[in-house]
Amino acid sequence: MSYVFRQHRLAALLLLMPALLFAAAFLVYPLGNGLWLSLTNASALRPKAKFVGLANYTYLLSTSEFWTVIFNTIVIVGGAIALSTAVGLALALLVNRKLPGVALFRAGIFQIWIVPWISVAILWGWIFNADYGVVNYLLMDVGLIRAPVNWFADTTTARVVIILGFAWRMIPFMMVVSLAALQTIPAEILEAAAVDGAAPMQRFLRITLPILRPMLVTLALLQLVKLFQEITLPWILTQGGPVNATTTLSLYTYKLAFQQWDYGLAASAGTLWLILLSLIALVAVRLTRRRYQ
């Protein structure tokens, strides 16, 4: 019996070996190499890297610039996820109804999801341009502003533009997945609540939203990981300005590596970036589990 078990275990190990080798080559090694790099002063400007221990981490955590970048990242990414989740869920509730033209609307809005980030950045730059942007034209036309606004010159408005751009790109995905989750809710539950006298908003808050909450948390975490990596929109629109107001962790790491050529410092920023993501994901998962235990 033990011989058969050992044979099956060996066969399982052999079948898993390609996946394990792939993971080691493309996941474990880059992660370990990045961690080691963060402990050195490696740079394209130095012929040889030197071990510096935790000096890179000490430097980053002691600078106000790094904490400004953390604040920007949380505000921009958090705002974009909250907005895209709310709008995506609202659109999912709308297209879940049997209304004329819903299929065409659903197909049309999902086209946004396949638009490349570089195209989104160029489009957003045109829309919010201070000289010929359509946003300034519409706001002046209705009398909300008297003169064109330079949206990218102010720290607050620049952040708002980046948040809107991120959210706009994420809304179709949030809508489609939310719609798929809505269609799994048994209609009998909602009908029984309606018969008992529950209003539409009560049915949404007490039945629909609690059922969808785990899915929404998972979606938010997926978008969190994606937006933490995105540099195209802030780089094309503002280059991280004004005064680092739109510099996110990904853009900050990119600047350290390919503008300052400080690979060790960039690797340290990337490691702290990974730790921050892991902590946020851990808190979100624990809060979700605690609610349903």
pLDDT digits (tens, 9 = 90+) for 238-279: 999 888 899 999 999 999 999 999 999 999 999 998 898 888
Which amino acid is it at 228?
A: F
Residue 273's nearest CA partner among 256, 250, 257 is 250
In eight-state DSSP terms, residue 44 is T
CB hemisphere CA count around 22 (13 angstroms): 5
Residue appearing with tokens 């349903």: 292
Q: Coil, strand or helix: which one is 123?
A: helix
Residue that wins the pLDDT comparison between 289 and 119? 119
Question: Residue 103's pLDDT is what?
Answer: 73
Burial of 35 (0-12, 13-18, 19+ CB in 10 A): middle
CB atoms within 10 A of CB 261: 14
**CA quadruple 210, 211, 217, 219: dihedral, nearest 10:** -140
Question: Residue 6's pLDDT is what?
Answer: 65
To the nearest 10 degrees (0 to 180), the angle between helices 209-229 and 64-95 is: 140
Confirm whether pTM is higher than 0.85.
Answer: yes
Write out the two tokens for 193: 């609540």
Write out the two tokens for 106: 């659903």
Write out the two tokens for 278: 């892991």
Residue appearing with tokens 């890179």: 56
pLDDT digits (tens, 9 = 90+) for 160-188: 999 999 999 999 889 988 888 888 888 88
